[in-house]
Structure 1
Amino acid sequence: MLRAGMAFEDGAVLGECLSRLPNSPSVGKTSPEYLRSKRHALSVFEKCRKQRTKMVVDRGNVQQHLYHLHEGPEREERDRKMQMVPTPEGEALAWRDPGLAPKLLGYDHIADTVRVKEQQSLDYDISYTL
């Protein structure tokens, strides 16, 4: 499930990045302008996905640990926290974790792409725009 969701996000971010490449008959696909724009678009994609993927994978590793605790105090503490209201950060169920759920479930790939593109814009002199 996690991998399928990440694949959908990859496609959405890549599509957003590539949709902004110059699309004019006067700009050839092998022109320096187009190739610079394409490199920048792929750089934006890589940065967006690296940050997001790291967050999801890191939490997945925590989930694996929390879901497979053996009988004992650590498992009892996990179970106690799962019954707390309001739900504390670090909750075993990621979708209920108030620190993670908004980032995990409320990901806006367009806003993320724009944010990363703007951070990198100073390094590029190209017409690639979002």
Structure 2
Amino acid sequence: MKGGSRRSGGGGTLYARYRASATGQTGMGANCRAMLAAGPDGPVTSVRFENVREGIANAEAVIFIQKALLSGKMPVAEAGKYRQLLDERVNAARVYSLGLGQTRWQDRDRRLYQAAAEIAGQPAR
């Protein structure tokens, strides 16, 4: 059958490709509905939304540092310092499921933003 099978829900998209998807466990409705909450004057952002926003900001800082490293314009010693910082973040993510990467995440984020500010030539806050 063109475009997907009857059994998978059709359409050929990743969503609804597997039976578990159809139960709402992995769909957008299950994952995004708690992004906003009711506030006294209308919708307000939820903790989940703020976590997503923070994660995006972290990813942007990592990408900024990676692009600076890949440009080849940075002194070797300085580049090594920033590579070590990024490697530490990757290693923390690798051991997160063991409960080891959960510690000192605020410090890692602070140092990430400080590094991005240094590379951009801005004073760190």
Q: TM-score scaled to structure 2, two decimals?
A: 0.35
Q: Which has the higher helix share?
A: 1
TM-score (norm 1): 0.34
Structure (1/2) with the larger strand percentage: 2
Q: Quick one: higher RCO (CA 8 Å, sep 6+), 1 or 2?
A: 1
